[in-house]
């Protein structure tokens, strides 16, 4: 157990923040002992624990068995039937929540909309009928390429209502990325908008879709929501307007009772090799996991105004903007645009104006706010906030302290939540009324999460020894497979330590058992809280006519966490000019999306390789960060390469 006092020492690791008496008084789990007791029970008897949690939801048919585990395949709530949209909407209509705000939204240009549960239910039913009218049925895949507007939630919930499987593609991704996801998922329909607002400009969503679909794909229907009013092309026979379609449909649509293991969505995420992985989540277990974390981690109260700043295109947007809060009957705040538009106080202004009580954001945003200066924050009254959250990457202790003092006024607990697209929901996290926090640590595992740090042989390491983070038991919101590639699923997550889930992160535990995540151990970068596979960026570079070979590494970056550095060798007659660097950056932007654009492109005559031909990224990393190359270079095939790379600096 951490010590009793609040601020203990000037050594960062020693600072411990205990939940305040005020917070504890109203918290769901209000003591460390209670957390420990429940955690122990959840690990000793997971089925009993999760069955109890599942009873919070509405089931059309009760499950026969809580878990069927044939490693690495899990089935949760086997035999049970439910509908996720019914749980997020219909169940609230029989309660006082009927006229409670489900979504409060603000567009970047400043428009405001509020949808009550009743209104959201109506919109979802109508849109579900639009999908049906357009031959989208149970099991069909649907791509959603929308900005963070209420219609994104409507589209997701409408799919869930009829048993269609959505795959949301982040609005910052390019035509090429959309195309790849359509082809992998075999989607039959696509839902998009004409455009979206970002930093005062219009993102041409529909135009990107047109490029993605040119030459033909499995997509038969494109439903277009009018958002930005920009001029677009509508392809006859393929493209239809959302608002026109609504004229043809009724507002009644019964939720389809679905097997607990019916797929809810596919969300693509980067891996260290090959194309993005379609992470598959299923209805029952996912919703139980999300609902449970929502309740305990955010310690939700009926009158909270909860804001998770994630875009709906990422897993955080799925679990903690849409499904989690709505299943819990909360009011979820949504914002479409950039945090510094029109000025760097946009977030603080919205918190003040709406009296937001819970803020869940990412370290990369926090670091940007720090850089923009405290004066933007100080202009606003943030006294409505009572709880803060962080997700996406390790939060630096100093950024944590700033978040705690400047945003939280020294009053709000911070929940630093570790999880992944694959885990579906939060896995390692403080419970705000129970677990003392330490800046930079995600603290302790959530209920039912058997997390451990192990060595190469799978043996648990001692206190403060680094190792690989694994999860030793199945949990309800876990991924079920990689869509269409079970072999990759096995190999990627379950082969290194058979029967145990490999997270791909490195971590250590301190003497109190607290987890300190140190980041990825594979070739995956974490740029502004989002995973990018180095191999994807390399493939995009190599697809350029003038590039022979490329190696991408990360360099620490004050705001983005990691910056992308690309080492590129050119084909015979191509000249290493400055303009070509810009061209290559734009090329990656067009292939993957702006987020993947290299911050730095370096031309090299050759890349350092081992005798077996593997690029020695460690050396490139050292060069990219300006360090002297250290460690073992005996396997380097050609030593002159290293000297030349140094000359290029």
Q: Which residues lie near ligand PRX (CB under 6 A)?
A: 269, 315-316, 390-394, 416-421, 442, 503-505, 517, 519-520, 526, 530-531
How far apart CA 622 and CA 642 sit, in angstroms, is: 11
Question: Is the CB of 150 or the CB of 363 nearer to ligand PRX?
Answer: 363
Question: Is the CB of 210 or the CB of 536 nearer to ligand PRX?
Answer: 536
How far apart CA 47 and CA 41 sit, in angstroms, is: 10
Peptide bond into 30 cis (omega under 30): no
Instruction: Report which of 566, 491, 496 is spatially closest to residue 525, judged by C-alpha positions.
Output: 566
> Which residue is listed with tokens 């090799």?
273
Question: Is the CB of 386 or the CB of 520 nearer to ligand PRX?
Answer: 520
Q: To the nearest whole angstrom, how small is the minimum distance from the Cβ of residue 327 to ligand PRX?
A: 18
Q: To the nearest whole angstrom, how small is the minimum distance from the Cβ of residue 559 to ligand PRX?
A: 16
Question: Is the CB of 196 or the CB of 477 nearer to ligand PRX?
Answer: 477
Q: Tell me the CA distances in angstroms from 291 to 47, 296, 390, 428, one per residue in order.
A: 16, 9, 18, 16
Q: To the nearest whole angstrom, how small is the minimum distance from the Cβ of residue 316 to ligand PRX?
A: 5
> Which residue is listed with tokens 């309660």?
95
Question: Is the CB of 79 or the CB of 506 nearer to ligand PRX?
Answer: 506
How far apart CA 47 and CA 457 sit, in angstroms, is: 29
Question: Is the CB of 162 or the CB of 412 nearer to ligand PRX?
Answer: 412
| Residue 280 backbone phi and psi in degrees, to 5 | -100, 125
Q: To the nearest whole angstrom, how small is the minimum distance from the Cβ of residue 311 to ligand PRX?
A: 11
Q: To the nearest whole angstrom, how small is the minimum distance from the Cβ of residue 267 to ligand PRX?
A: 9
Question: Is the CB of 442 or the CB of 615 nearer to ligand PRX?
Answer: 442
Count of CB atoms within 10 A of residue 169's CB?
Answer: 29
How far apart CA 552 and CA 536 sit, in angstroms, is: 9
Question: Is the CB of 519 or the CB of 576 nearer to ligand PRX?
Answer: 519
- Backbone Cα Rg of the chain: 24
Q: Are 265 and 165 in contact (CB under 8 A)?
A: yes
- Give alpha helix (H) positions in 355-471: 363-372, 375-378, 397-402
Distance of CA 471 to the CA centre of its chain: 19
> What is the pairing mode between strands 451-454 and 165-168?
unpaired
Question: Is the CB of 336 or the CB of 505 nearer to ligand PRX?
Answer: 505
How far apart CA 344 and CA 348 sit, in angstroms, is: 9
Q: To the nearest whole angstrom, how small is the minimum distance from the Cβ of residue 528 to ligand PRX?
A: 11
Q: How far apart are the first and last CA of the chain?
A: 49
Q: To the nearest whole angstrom, how small is the minimum distance from the Cβ of residue 319 to ligand PRX?
A: 8
Q: To the nearest whole angstrom, how small is the minimum distance from the Cβ of residue 469 to ligand PRX?
A: 8
Instruction: Report which of 244, 291, 334 is spatially closest to residue 447, judged by C-alpha positions.
Output: 291
Q: To the nearest whole angstrom, how small is the minimum distance from the Cβ of residue 74 to ligand PRX?
A: 19
Q: To the nearest whole angstrom, how small is the minimum distance from the Cβ of residue 233 to ligand PRX?
A: 33
Helix axis angle, 578-591 to 534-542, nearest 10°: 120
- Give alpha helix (H) positions in 109-149: 117-133
Q: In the complex, which residue's CB is closest to ligand PRX?
A: 421
Q: To the nearest whole angstrom, how small is the minimum distance from the Cβ of residue 440 to ligand PRX?
A: 9
Question: Is the CB of 285 or the CB of 392 nearer to ligand PRX?
Answer: 392
- Give alpha helix (H) positions in 344-496: 346-354, 363-372, 375-378, 397-402, 486-489
Instruction: Report which of 224, 226, 249, 54 is spatially closest to residue 161, judged by C-alpha positions.
Output: 249
Question: Is the CB of 127 or the CB of 360 nearer to ligand PRX?
Answer: 360
| Secondary structure class of 178 (helix, strand, coil) | helix
> Which residue is listed with tokens 């809280």?
529
Q: Residue 519 forms beta bridges with which residues?
A: 506
Question: Is the CB of 317 or the CB of 608 nearer to ligand PRX?
Answer: 317
Q: To the nearest whole angstrom, how small is the minimum distance from the Cβ of residue 596 to ligand PRX?
A: 13
């Amino acid at each position: 157990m951490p010590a009793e006092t609040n601020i203990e020492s000037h050594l960062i690791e020693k600072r411990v923040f205990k939940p305040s008496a005020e917070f504890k008084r109203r918290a769901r789990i209000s003591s460390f002992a209670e957390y420990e007791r429940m955690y122990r029970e959840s690990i000793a008897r997971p089925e009993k624990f999760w069955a109890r949690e599942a009873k919070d939801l509405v089931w059309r048919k009760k499950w026969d068995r809580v878990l069927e585990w044939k490693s690495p395949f899990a089935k949760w709530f086997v035999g049970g039937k439910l509908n996720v949209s019914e749980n997020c909407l219909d169940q609230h209509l029989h309660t006082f929540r009927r006229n409670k705000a489900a979504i409060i939204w603000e567009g970047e240009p400043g428009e405001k909309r509020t949808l009550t549960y009743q209104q959201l239910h109506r919109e979802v039913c109508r849109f579900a009928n639009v999908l049906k009218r357009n031959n989208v049925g149970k099991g069909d895949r649907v791509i959603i390429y929308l900005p963070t507007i209420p219609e994104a939630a409507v589209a997701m919930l409408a799919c869930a209502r009829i048993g269609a499987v959505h795959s949301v593609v982040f609005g910052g991704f390019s035509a090429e990325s959309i195309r790849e996801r359509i082809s992998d998922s075999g989607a039959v329909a696509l839902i998009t908008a004409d455009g979206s607002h970002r930093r005062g400009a219009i993102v041409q969503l529909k135009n990107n879709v047109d490029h993605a679909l040119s030459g033909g794909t499995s997509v038969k229907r494109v439903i277009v929501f009018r958002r930005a009013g920009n001029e677009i092309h509508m392809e006859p026979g393929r493209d239809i307007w959302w608002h026109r379609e609504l004229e043809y449909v009724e507002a009644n649509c019964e939720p389809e009772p679905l097997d607990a293991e019916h797929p809810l969505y596919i969300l693509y995420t980067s891996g260290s090799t090959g194309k993005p992985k379609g992470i598959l989540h299923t209805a029952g277990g996912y919703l139980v996991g999300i609902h449970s974390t929502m309740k305990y981690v955010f310690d939700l109260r009926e009158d909270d105004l909860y804001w998770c700043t994630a875009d709906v295109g990422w897993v955080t947007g799925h679990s903690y903007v849409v499904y989690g809060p709505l299943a819990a009957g909360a009011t979820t705040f949504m914002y479409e645009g950039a945090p510094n538009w029109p000025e760097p106080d946009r977030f603080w202004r919205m918190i003040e104006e709406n009296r937001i009580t819970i803020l869940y954001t990412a370290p990369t945003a926090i670091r940007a706010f720090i850089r923009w200066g405290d004066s933007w924050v100080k202009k606003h009254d943030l006294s409505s906030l009572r709880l803060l959250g962080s997700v996406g990457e390790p939060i630096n202790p100093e950024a944590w302290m700033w978040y705690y003092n400047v945003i939280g006024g020294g009053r709000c607990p911070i929940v630093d939540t570790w999880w992944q697209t694959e885990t579906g929901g939060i896995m390692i996290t403080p419970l705000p009324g129970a677990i003392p926090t330490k800046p930079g640590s995600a603290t302790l595992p959530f209920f039912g999460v058997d997390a451990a740090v192990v060595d190469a042989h799978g043996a648990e390491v001692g206190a403060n020894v680094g190792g690989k983070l694994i999860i030793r038991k199945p949990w309800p919101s876990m991924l079920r497979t990689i869509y269409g590639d079970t072999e990759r699923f096995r190999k990627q997550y379950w082969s290194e330590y058979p029967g145990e889930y490999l997270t791909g992160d490195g971590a250590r535990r301190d003497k109190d058992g607290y987890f300190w995540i140190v980041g990825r151990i594979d070739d995956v970068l974490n740029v502004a809280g989002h995973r990018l596979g180095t191999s994807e960026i390399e493939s995009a570079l190599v697809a350029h006519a003038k590039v022979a070979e490329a190696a991408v590494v990360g360099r620490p970056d004050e705001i983005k966490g990691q910056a992308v550095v690309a080492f590129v060798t050119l084909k015979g007659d191509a000249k290493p000019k400055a303009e070509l660097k810009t061209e290559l950056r734009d090329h990656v932007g067009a292939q993957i999306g702006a987020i993947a654009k290299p911050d730095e492109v370096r031309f090299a005559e050759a890349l350092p390789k081992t005798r077996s031909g593997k690029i020695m990224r460690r050396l490139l990393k050292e060069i990219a960060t300006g360090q002297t190359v250290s460690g073992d270079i005996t396997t380097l095939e050609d030593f002159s390469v290293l000297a030349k790379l140094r000359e290029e600096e």
